[in-house]
Amino acid sequence: MATKVQSTEREQWSHQTGFILAAIGSAVGLGNIWRFPGVAYEGGGGAFLVPYLIALLTAGIPILFLDYAIGHRFRGAAPLAFRRMKKWTEPLGWFQIMLSFVIAVYYAAVIAWSMSYFVFSFDMEYADDPKGFFLGEYLQVGEPEISTSIVAGVAIPLVLVWVAVLVILGLGVAGGVQRVNVIGIPLLLVAFIALVIRALTLPGATDGLNELFTPDWEALSDPDVWIAAYSQIFFSLSIAFGIMITYASYQKRKANMTSSGLVVAFANSSFEILAGIAVFSTLGFLAFERGVGVGELEGLTGPILSFVTFPAVLAQMPAGSLWGAVFFGALVIAGFTSLISILLGVSASLQEKLGVSRRAAAVGVAAVCGTISVALFSTTSGLLALDTVDQWANNIGVVTSAILMAIIVIWIIRKGDELRFHLNSVSTFKVGRIWILLLGVLAPIYLSYMLIERIITLISDGYEQLPTWYLVVFGWGTIAFTVIAAFVLTALPWRNSTERFTPWPQLRHDDVKTALAGPPQSADGSTNGEIK
């Protein structure tokens, strides 16, 4: 059967601010509030800011620009954009989208918990025994096994999350995703500022901050700390997941890409550091109330930090109920705007490959991901599965994706100069050759070193004392699933022709030398009337 040429206009963000807010919405998420403070604390406190900033400058921003350049130039969600760049690279796009898919199914569960806790905050249901309440009464956590008993308290908000996803994706890029972010991000900012001010004025706040910011320089010699910093940056900026490729593909052809990227990266790290300050000042208060040192408190990382330790603080704080609602409300907004971005990547990819409508893709994605999400993560074994999948998808999957992307684009298909030309043609902040150097040389070397180190540690030491079969299924199994699914999805036929596409601005030979630094003289922003 002959494939047809897609003729419909590509959706677009309605303005630059819409794109920036949506990209900030994707970046600022549970990772900032729920992951960063704990990862920073475990990774040497104040000293962690060193690998964190190095990771941001040497890999975070360069890879963010790479994602933007690929999506904006080749105008597709990850699989289509990679395919248009070089046909055989399509599986890398699907690998990234599959990682997003895996993350979405558990990420939604944490949003569902936050929704429940937002409601519980009104009568402080968790106040008496936060740990017993979270693990026992609420999640009903059991043994590491594959449980089929669904916990209604989690399943109900989780279904609501997926219904909301369906509606927003169905409404499209400008009508749905952009609108949620234009409303959500300012709200989130207000909630955040209020939380930070409240936290800083609690007695004991300085002790908490000292704990977070007092450097433990020894941590810097531990490769696991470095890999934690890089994975945190990837997760936090939503890069190497195909998401920013997809977002950039909906940007107008003439759009200032690198400057927006800098705004997004700066906003994301600011939110992250603010969250660290808010969380640790509050922990300082808890330690002060209990008459212990902050380091003696338990549960300073992972979900326990937000859902056990934080509720314990709220229980002792004046107007804890109000602050609980603000905190968990902020988690819901931050998480939801990120979840939408993850799923837009998945649904846009399917839409383009299978030639289905936006609504059909939205229904398909919400139904499939929603069912898996409820089946796996609203059961009594949900918490453990979540932690394990998170660990592998982020520390192994995304780092691998970043390495492959850098090596393939710069060394194998040699698109570095073209992409740099592209960014510089449309943006006011020009990227120099250092960008290619960082992507092509430094990033692959140190990321590979860290990845190998991490794999060896996970194989030799296991993870959190979980049984090996469990790690094989939920850890390595997750990676195997993403790789196999990537090849299966690549093998499916494209319903629309992907061949007739000319990137804009067109790259002429002499451009390579001269135009890398400036805008193309002949650029008129017109498209050639083919696939948009």
Q: How far is CA 351 from the centre of its chain?
A: 21
Cβ 36 to ligand PFF shortest distance, Å: 8
User: At residue 171, what is the residue type?
Assistant: L
Binding mask 313-352 for ligand PFF (x = CB under 6 A): -------------------------x--xx----------
Contacts of 64 (CB under 8 A, 6+ apart): 237, 239, 244, 261, 264, 265
User: Which of residues 31 and 444 has its CB atom nearest to ligand PFF in the complex?
Assistant: 31
Rounded CA Rg of the chain: 23
Within its chain, how far is the Cα of 485 from the centroid?
Answer: 20
Amino acid making up residue 170: G
Output the CA–CA distances (angstroms, integers) from residue 512 to 86, 280, 479, in the order listed: 19, 50, 38
Nearest to ligand PFF of 31, 370 (CB atom): 31
Pick the stretch among 17-25, 29-37, 71-79, 418-426 that binds ligand PFF (CB under 6 A).
29-37
The single residue among 50, 103, 286, 399 that binds ligand PFF, judged by CB under 6 A, is 103
Report d(CA 67, CA 504) in Å as an integer.
16
User: Which residue in 20, 22, 24, 27 binds ligand PFF (CB under 6 A)?
Assistant: 27
Which of 22-30, 44-52, 315-323, 451-459 is the region at the interface with ligand PFF (rule: CB under 6 A)?
22-30
SS3 379: strand
Q: Does 100 bind ligand PFF (CB under 6 A)?
A: yes
CB-CB neighbours of 326 under 10 Å: 19
Q: Which stretch, 25-33, 153-161, 210-218, 426-434, contacts ligand PFF (CB under 6 A)?
A: 25-33
- Share of the chain residues as helix, strand and coil, in percent rounded to the nearest 5: 75, 0, 25
Q: Which residue shows structure tokens 């846009």?
A: 348
Q: Given candidates 6, 147, 178, 238, which one binds ligand PFF under the rule CB under 6 A?
A: 238
Query: What does the angle CA 372 – CA 77 – CA 172 come to, to the nearest 5 degrees?
Result: 75
Minimum distance of ligand PFF from residue 108's CB (angstroms): 12
Instruction: Give me the least distance between CB of 217 and ligand PFF, in Å please.
Output: 27
Measured CA distances, 147 to 302, 374, 377 (Å) = 22, 12, 10
Contact between 38 and ligand PFF per CB under 6 A = no
Alpha helix positions (H), 57-139: 61-74, 78-85, 90-123, 130-131
CA distance 58 to 66: 12
Which of 25, 29, 71, 382 touches ligand PFF by CB under 6 A? 29
Task: State in angstroms the smallest separation of the CB of 341 from ligand PFF.
Answer: 5
> Which CB sits closer to ligand PFF, 74 or 235?
235
Total number of residues that touch ligand PFF (CB under 6 A): 16
Nearer to ligand PFF, 346 or 423 (CB): 346
Mapped onto helix, strand or coil, the DSSP state of residue 4 is: strand
Report d(CA 31, CA 338) in Å as an integer: 9
* Beta-bridge mates of residue 379: 150
Does residue number 30 form part of the binding site for ligand PFF (CB under 6 A)? yes
Name which of residues 455 to 514 contact ligand PFF (CB under 6 A): none
Q: Which residue, 236 or 381, is less far from ligand PFF as judged by CB?
A: 236
| Amino acid in position 13 | W
User: Which listed residue (6, 12, 32, 306) binds ligand PFF by CB under 6 A?
Assistant: 32
Nearer to ligand PFF, 6 or 269 (CB): 269
Of 300 and 340, CB closest to ligand PFF? 340
Residues that bind ligand PFF (CB under 6 A): 26-27, 29-32, 100, 103, 235-236, 238, 241, 243, 338, 341-342
